[in-house]
Structure 1
Amino acid sequence: MNNPFKEIISDEKLPEYIRQKVIDDINLIKLSIDMADLFMVKSPGVLGTLFDDKNKNPDK
């Protein structure tokens, strides 16, 4: 069985728009992980205040 990775041409450069798309996707994933970490791990009470119904408790 041939190794398909040996058939990749190493001298060929990736087009800039594909490279930028990959970098943008990685940045979006990193941002999503950071936001999930912020709201779910570090400050779970913040998420509750976002969805708190003000009409539920008029005393507040």
Structure 2
Amino acid sequence: MRTTDSWAGITALAAFQVYAFVMLFHDPRVPTIAIVASLVLTVSLMSFVAAYLWYVNLSRP
């Protein structure tokens, strides 16, 4: 149950991040490269957290 809750939280946070980037960076004055770089950085950090949670889950006896 704890694992499902963790993954649900990560999924919800990732979905919100994508939504926030689309809404906040929808301004045409913001360069596309800045949007992509920011989104890639966020997804990378979220992937690191997901991998860490997966590793911790596997480490449990």
Is the radius of gyration larger for structure 1 or structure 2?
A: 1
Which residue, 34, 39, 43 being the options, matches 2:50?
A: 34
Displacement after TM superposition at 1:12 (Å): 6.4
Give the equivalent residue in structure 2 for 1:44. 59
Unpaired segments ≥5 residues, structure 1: 1-10, 46-60
4+ residue segments displaced more than 6 Å:
none
Separation (CA, whole Å) in 2 of partners of 1:27 and 1:12: 22
Which ranges of structure 2 fall in alignment gaps of 5 or more residues?
1-26
Q: 1:19 maps to what in 2?
A: 35
More relative contact order in 1 or in 2 (CA 8 Å, sep 6+)?
2
> Counterpart of 2:30 in 1: which secondary structure?
coil
SS in 1 for 2:41: helix
